[in-house]
Chains A and B, each alone.
Chain A
């Protein structure tokens, strides 16, 4: 009898229904900086797909009669030292940045999730091995290690490519070395940036495993696979999404640094980092050639960081009302 009364009054006390994901999305949409991040991300995707059709020039097309020009009707952002259109090169740089972000993020996520989950579930020497590998990777400065790997492997990859071409007539690059650069960059960045996600996933699983609701599942007789697929995975997804978003920006930044140092994308490929270093000589006379790619890079990375922060706030149920 009392139970019926209480059921009635629940109608008073309940807020309207929302799933946690809906709730998170709503929360995210209320965050202006995160909206900016979403906008930047969409713009980046759009430009990297449709970039070549957006400008009348080719990113490698040189015009030696019109070098180091300022903005004009023909060249909205001016031209660089070889007379290439800056806008076109920045648009093309977006493609590089997006590809690096995408592939490195996929690579680090797969590597991180597999290694982290293996460590957490198998424990013992597997866990020790994974964690020591992570420690060692972490002990080196990312950029230095990535530069080292790309320098060492670039020639090897090139040799391999030539060999493949000779023996089977198979070619990746179609004479264009840019694709090989991509491959080397993706690989080296993945190898130095996986540990963050591995540690995250391992920590998530280890702490979730101790949670009472997982014990409740075991008490109900759920199999290990049920527990992993319907409880561990959905619950660790939130932090992983945040890490992926922030990592996206991080990967782009690392690629720009490598290219700036000259061990990343090689000319004539277009990358924002490479453009900055390329035009550095013009700094005193035509600062816009350095500033433009720099500003674009900063805005994009900032956008992803804002998005990551917004997601972090939105996906963290502990920070919200109980």
Chain B
């Protein structure tokens, strides 16, 4: 395959999708590792990713591909045995990996907010939700207690909690799943962050509630011009909510580009497999689904060459030995020696 996408400067320092803009968040060669009994788990392995002002980027992949660990590396909230051992995460002119704990406290919740999959585990069970929202604002926005309370009530109303004045003094267990996620969203948006990290925000919810929550996040993000990183495994959510998409496999990026391009013309066999294995409302029922054979790789002992070759139907000797790099194909980039010839859309 030719490397005709090399209108980029030769350094691999940008992920190359929108070269004329300075990204809000710039991840360079991030390596996040975990020490376990079995050895070093390479959760994120040389990931570079740009996030531009005002866009919604979908980070897609299966469990264990490193998408959540990427978000936790940005927030510097990795669990005890994990560490971002190399790389840079640049945000507003600072490398987050080198910020002091004190600086991170200011950034977390203030400049960057995160929404988790399970609000029950992310919120304090012994504090009223009103206090949790207003406390964040007292710290980050330096509001007085009364001001923070007023703002919190507005926010609760805004995210669609009925009768916020009565619910203000409730605890998180007194809310239903969808309402809990709304509370999380209110907290995330309370300090007007510039960047929102949403980690599978609707996976635990029912479809009808999921639609409500997705619409709410989209609406709020548009209102405030916020940039968002949407972590999900569901291509349907990407199609409906994101501008660009990045597909991860075994800790690295295998494909990224504008949503339309990637979803309609997937180049990497893994992306093709992911799209093909979801039964959709468009497909013919009863047909066999396209399925990716085998299992995701063991992150302690990754295969040499392309990490996907053991499961790839196209793999040949080169794939087994040499690791492919991201190359430009049309509007997107993919890391595969066997990229399919472009279909004209």
Chain A interface residues toward B at CB < 8 A: 2-3, 5-6, 8-10, 12-13, 15, 321
Contact = CB atoms under 8 A, between A and B. Distances in A.
Given A9-B310, A9-B311, A15 B38 contact: yes
A12 B310 contact: yes
A9 B293 contact: yes
B298 A12 contact: yes
A5 B295 CA distance: 10
Interface in B296-320: 297-298, 303, 310-311
Nearest to B301: A12
A8 B294 CA distance: 8
Contact of B295 (A2, A3, A6, A15): A6
B291 interface: yes
B298 A13 contact: yes
Given A9-B310, A12-B297, A12-B310, 6 more contacts: A2-B293, A12-B298, A13-B295, A13-B298, A321-B37, A321-B38
A106 B295 CA distance: 48
B294 A5 contact: yes
Contacts of B295: 6, 9-10, 13
B52 to A, nearest CB: 37
B291 A2 contact: yes
B36 interface: yes
Contacts of A2: 291, 293
Considering the complex of A and B, which 6 residue pairs feature the smallest CB-CB distances, nearest first? A9-B294, A5-B293, A2-B293, A6-B294, A6-B293, A13-B298
A10 B295 CA distance: 7
Contact of A321 (B36, B291, B293): B36
Nearest to A2: B293
Q: Looking at chain B, what size class is its interface with the partner chain?
A: 10 to 19
A54 to B, nearest CB: 41
Interface string B282-297: 0000000001011101
23 contacts: A2-B291, A2-B293, A3-B293, A6-B293, A6-B294, A6-B295, A8-B294, A9-B293, A9-B294, A9-B295, A9-B310, A10-B295, A12-B297, A12-B298, A12-B303, A12-B310, A13-B295, A13-B297, A13-B298, A15-B38, A321-B36, A321-B37, A321-B38
Interface string B22-50: 00000000000000111000000000000
Nearest to A8: B294
B39 to A, nearest CB: 11
A3 B310 CA distance: 14
Find the residue from A2, A10, A321 having the highest chain B CB count within 10 A.
Answer: A2
Contacts of B311: 9
A107 to B, nearest CB: 39
B272 to A, nearest CB: 15
B282 to A, nearest CB: 23
Nearest to A10: B295
Contacts of A321: 36-38
A24 to B, nearest CB: 14
Contacts of A6: 293-295
Find the residue from A8, A9, A15, A321 having the highest chain B CB count within 10 A.
Answer: A9
A3 B291 CA distance: 10
Contacts of B37: 321
Contacts of A13: 295, 297-298
A297 to B, nearest CB: 36
A3 B294 CA distance: 8
Nearest to B310: A9
